[in-house]
Amino acid sequence: MTTKELIQGGKAVLGIEFGSTRIKAVLIDQENKPIAQGSHEWENQLVDGLWTYSVDRIWYGLQDCYADLRKNVLAVYDCEIENLAAIGISAMMHGYMAFGQDEKILVPFRTWRNTNTGQAAAELSKLFNYNIPLRWSISHLYQCILNGDEHVKEITYLTTLAGYIHWRLTGRKVLGVGDASGMIPVDPATKTYDAEMVEKFNALIAPKGYSWKLEDILPESLSAGEDAGTLTEHGAERLDISGHLKPGCPLCPPEGDAGTGMVATNAVKQRTGNVSAGTSSFSMIVLEKPLSKPYEPIDMVTTPDGSLVAMVHCNNCTSDINAWVGLFKEYQQLLGVPVDMNELYGKLFNAALTGDADCGGVMAYNYISGEPITGMQEGRPMVVRSANDKFNLANLMRAHLYGAIAVLKIGNDILLNEEKIKIDRITGHGGYFKTAGVGQRMLAAALNSPISVMETAGEGGAWGIALLASYLINKGTRNLADWLEDVVFAGNTGTSIAPTPADVEGFNQYIENYKACLPIEAAAVENKK
């Protein structure tokens, strides 16, 4: 069967992921390989002090992304997409999307990036004896309750961005267990919300007299491969405004970007892990057993099939690097030199390899927004150095590359040094690793562990959710981990780079200086309004 015949026969599988800066669609064939893509660029907005995307922009972005995919299929294969074998929807985890009786959103979507939930997260962490991060849906909900927000009494449904899109496409109020575990804690034994914590929360808010209980307003938690509904006629019309796509194909449980990252890097087995490094960064380490105690920098979530995962999530990663590369772009344009952004990134990243292992004392704080792990409520990006430090281009770029994963290292040092977690394989993916060998080497130094990158890692979460959609219809009797290992990756573990002792020592020196100078960042937050 040719690719055109496969598409015309409705055998292709579609994955769509809503990232922080891009919505991406990937169409895959029966061998789970990408055959077409589409995308839509977007940015969050700071409205009334909260990071958000409007509902109109969500739907316009989805439709434009799908239209771009359709255009590419027409151009390359000269055919329309009329039927699909399966669809998967993924998006940024966490956040707050609350709906009322009329199924309309009650307040603007609050994304994972908001850090206004400190009181709620602290009180819930104490109540549950479990680390509840600022960005989790339960923190947003309880903060609204603490604030006395009027809309809370009207809530009939609370979900994530992926859950919202899936609901509108299928009519089903469900969520993949990995994404659900970023709303409130999930019990790995039952693969649904922790019953004891749900009961404690209901008791906590009982004096408010709301008409709902927590279990009434949350989506149903589903594991990978479970039935999550089919594309309705209305859903097909909303996805493909050209009217060619027909309803009826199944959708897999909607997942968060953390879960799709695990799938895309074949990191759902115990003792494997992955690091996603783009606008934000996070590491996901699949555990053999629970941690000995709660740690504030470490979130406990699950794989898409319900295994316990230690997650270190950082709000900031490559955005400040991008800003600095943009500065060098302006300099080239000022000189009248043509700019190729891929070449510019490549040269600057490779220049970092020639810098001192400790960056010559130069430090970069990449805080575009707040960073909970280091206690920053807001962001103030800055470069810090003393008069005697070795300030040159190589050290500046190396400091930015270190700085992009510095907070990630702080969190993972707890797992590796205090909990003595054993990891067989860590795989990196995302824009940080786009220049071959550079980001890998920096992360290997940070974690003192070999880092693998696969050729397919660049496909990202949209490919990951497409794989979960493929698993839904092709799983047979295999569990998800075995299906990925045997069918999709067939033993491919990518290209690995091991840390050098000099790089490890240099990064450790950098991180000690970085932590010692955090009061400078705090002072900038306090004094620059």
| Residue 480 lies inside a defined structural domain of this protein | no
Residues 6+ apart with CB under 8 A from 55: 105, 109
| Residue 505 lies inside a defined structural domain of this protein | yes
105 burial level (CB within 10 Å; 0-12, 13-18, 19+): middle
- The CB-based long-range contact list for 391-395 (8 Å cut-off, 24+ gap) reads 391/360, 391/362, 392/355, 392/360, 393/348, 393/351, 394/351, 394/352, 394/353, 394/354, 394/355, 394/356, 395/355, 395/356, 395/359, 395/360, 395/361, 395/362
Q: Is 326 in the same domain as 384?
A: yes
For residues 15 and 465, the answer to whether their CB atoms sit within 8 Å is: yes
Q: Is 203 in the same domain as 320?
A: no
d(CA 451, CA 83): 39
Exposure letters 460-477 (e unless 16+ CB within 10 A, then b): bbbbbbbbbbbbbebeee
Domain that holds residue 207: 94-159+184-217
| Residue 395 lies inside a defined structural domain of this protein | yes
DSSP-based three-state secondary structure for 112: coil
d(CA 453, CA 434): 10
DSSP-based three-state secondary structure for 334: helix
Query: pTM score, two decimals?
Result: 0.85
Confidence (pLDDT) at 16: 98
d(CA 117, CA 130): 16
Q: Is 296 in the same domain as 434?
A: yes
522 burial level (CB within 10 Å; 0-12, 13-18, 19+): middle
Q: Can you give the pLDDT of all 529 residues of the chain as single tens digits?
A: 899 999 999 999 999 999 988 999 999 999 999 999 999 999 999 999 999 999 999 999 999 999 999 999 999 999 999 999 999 999 999 999 999 999 999 999 999 989 899 999 999 999 999 999 999 999 999 999 999 999 999 999 999 999 999 999 999 999 999 999 999 999 989 999 999 999 999 999 999 999 999 999 999 999 999 999 999 999 999 999 999 999 999 999 999 998 998 999 999 999 999 998 988 898 999 999 999 999 989 999 999 999 999 999 898 999 999 999 999 999 999 999 999 999 999 999 999 999 999 999 999 999 999 898 999 989 999 999 999 999 999 999 999 999 999 999 999 999 999 999 999 889 998 889 989 999 999 999 999 999 999 876 556 789 999 999 999 999 999 999 999 999 999 878 789 999 999 999 999 999 999 999 999 999 999 997 6
Residue with tokens 């972005």: 61
Amino acid occupying residue 474: N
- Which letter does DSSP use for residue 245 in this model? P
| Residue 21 lies inside a defined structural domain of this protein | no
Residue 406's φ and ψ, nearest 5 degrees, are -65, -45
d(CA 309, CA 302): 5
Q: Is 209 in the same domain as 355?
A: no
| Strand segments (E) across 328-484 | 363-365, 382-384, 425-429, 451-453
Confidence (pLDDT) at 1: 86
Q: Is 350 in the same domain as 206?
A: no
Please give the radius of gyration of the chain, using alpha carbons only, rounded to the nearest integer.
23
Q: Which two tokens stand for residue 104?
A: 């309309």
Q: How many domains does the chain have?
A: 2
Q: Is 413 in the same domain as 272?
A: yes
Confidence (pLDDT) at 395: 98
| Residue 390 lies inside a defined structural domain of this protein | yes
| Residue 141 lies inside a defined structural domain of this protein | yes
Q: Is 289 in the same domain as 438?
A: yes
Q: Is 288 in the same domain as 144?
A: no
Q: Residue 153, Cβ neighbours under 10 Å: how many?
A: 13
Q: Is 205 in the same domain as 271?
A: no
CA-nearest of 209, 264, 294, 241 to 17 is 264
Q: Is 283 in the same domain as 355?
A: yes
Confidence (pLDDT) at 529: 62
| Residue 3 lies inside a defined structural domain of this protein | no
d(CA 114, CA 133): 11
d(CA 81, CA 179): 29
Confidence (pLDDT) at 456: 64
- The DSSP-derived string for 391-433 is -SHHHHHHHHHHHHHHHHHHHHHIIIIIS----SEEEEESGGG
| Residue 518 lies inside a defined structural domain of this protein | yes
Q: Which two tokens stand for residue 499?
A: 């840390």
Residue 134 half-sphere exposure, CB side, CA atoms within 13 Å?
Answer: 23
Q: Is 299 in the same domain as 392?
A: yes
Q: Is 291 in the same domain as 199?
A: no
Confidence (pLDDT) at 429: 84
CATH at residue 390: 3.30.420.40
